[in-house]
Amino acid sequence: MTTAVSLAAINFNWLPILPLLVVTAGAMVVLLAGVRVSDRDSEGLGWLSLVVIAIAVATSLPMLGAQQVTFSGALVADDFTVFFYIVILLAAAVIVLMSLDYVADEGLPGAEYYALVLFATAGMMLMAAAGDLIIIFLGLETMSISVYILAGLARTDVRSNEAAMKYFLLGAFSTGFLLYGIALVYGATGTIKLHALSTLAVGASPMLLLGVGLLLIGFGFKVAAVPFHMWTPDVYEGAPTSVTAFMAVGVKLAAFAAFLRVFLVHLLGVQSDWSIVLWVLAVLTMTTGNIVALMQTNLKRMLAYSAIAHAGYILVAMTVGSSAAGAAILYYLLGYAFTNLGAFAILIAMARRGHPHETIADLRGLGTREPALAGAMAIMLFSLTGVPPLAGFVGKFSIFSAALNAGYVWLVVIAVLNSVMSAYYYLRPIVAMYTDTGGAEVVRIGSRPALIAAIAIAVIATVIIGIYPQPYMAASTSAFTSAFGKPPLATTASLHP
């Protein structure tokens, strides 16, 4: 018998969706305004995009302290949602800043570029606010389709076309795994609502475990976990540098937002089954990423394998699954976002039209020619290494401490050894900048104030988040705790047959 659902019975609370509406409407306005703007004069569209992002941030702040589930459980308004809203929007703002000159210099279609950045941002935010598995899928597809196009937006560049095609094909393949996983979870539990899974996913059935495994594959692709990482180096290298930065930061933030909410909040009932898989994935991911990064001479490929390794460190904390580990992940993602944005912004500053200057050899002598730029790059690389007192050090320390306190001694040992290994390839560019000569000539950055602002924001954030971690760790703890709504209770509820 079919039960009709009255619209009056559905809880329509527009608060969680208001920032999404702002970003989506802003993307449409940018796209329409671009009809009368040439690609060479698209800087105004970038500034319009920044205004849209600022309004979205302002409409996100009233959600702080809210504990609401709206649209019949499809969307969630809590501090976890707000945390990722703010970080994703800040990342998008920095991406737009570093793109204001880059888009015109590279001959990219400005209206399409900025509109797609905003559409992708909306998809990322939707993943962070999702209260059921179908909304996660919708957010994932909105984000992915936009990023597929962005990766291939340099239409005359063979590398960009190749990057887009590889990302699209492998992304579509991974989406199939995610959808099959959602179908099996629904078949095992009778629900796609995450809140309901918190009480149902106890005492795992084979169908549920298979569904959870397929969900892991889908999320593993988006966070670039081994062995689902094959797309990462080629796509990072081939895509326009600003788009690579967006993938390295925005896509990872959104994927981990959904990954955390599903596994560390609502599938704790089967943690004993998936934690061992994450243990293995964490070891494979950070070890493979670091070992292959040692052999790279192209900075974008090196940062791609670095991103893989950092996904492995985050998976260490996910394996633990405790509240301390969840808070550490949020803090880690915050510092990681600004550090990577800064590194890619500096690569944009290094580039000249037709000459990307992406190799370690291109950095030789930069400390003499452009000391400020070299200093900023050194800060980013030191943070990625985990050198105190920068954000990367505090993030790694928090994750390793949470794992150690939970008894994962060998996992921490492997992670620490990997972190030490990574120092070699992070220090190579620094050595080249300050001890070698004969690198590429760089266009004076003083003529690009927006790019200077993007680099400055990244540097200041990386330093401050590391030197004064307490407020950011407190915000991370509050955000992760709010995802539970109330302290999670043990339950013996049986699964839907």
- Residue 353: what pLDDT? 66
- Residue 203: what pLDDT? 59
Q: Of the candidates 399, 437, 432, 395, which has an alpha carbon nearest to the alpha carbon of residue 415?
A: 399
Overall size of the chain counted in residues = 497
- Residue 379: what pLDDT? 94
Tokens of 419: 């972190």
Contact assessment for residue 241 and residue 102, using Cβ atoms and an 8 Å cutoff = yes
Q: Is 12 exposed, middle or buried (0-12, 13-18, 19+ CB in 10 A)?
A: exposed
- Residue 490: what pLDDT? 35
| pLDDT tens digit sequence for 142-199 | 999 999 999 888 887 788 888 888 888 888 888 889 999 999 988 888 888 888 887 7
Residues of the chain with confidence (pLDDT) below 70: 1-12, 39, 200-204, 352-355, 439-440, 446, 486-497
138 C-beta neighbours (distance < 10 Å), count = 16
C-alpha 180/C-alpha 187 separation (Å) is 10
Q: Is 463 exposed, middle or buried (0-12, 13-18, 19+ CB in 10 A)?
A: middle
- Residue 7: what pLDDT? 52
Does the model's pTM come out above 0.85? yes
Distance of CA 107 to the CA centre of its chain: 26
Q: Which residues pair with 130 in a beta bridge?
A: 75
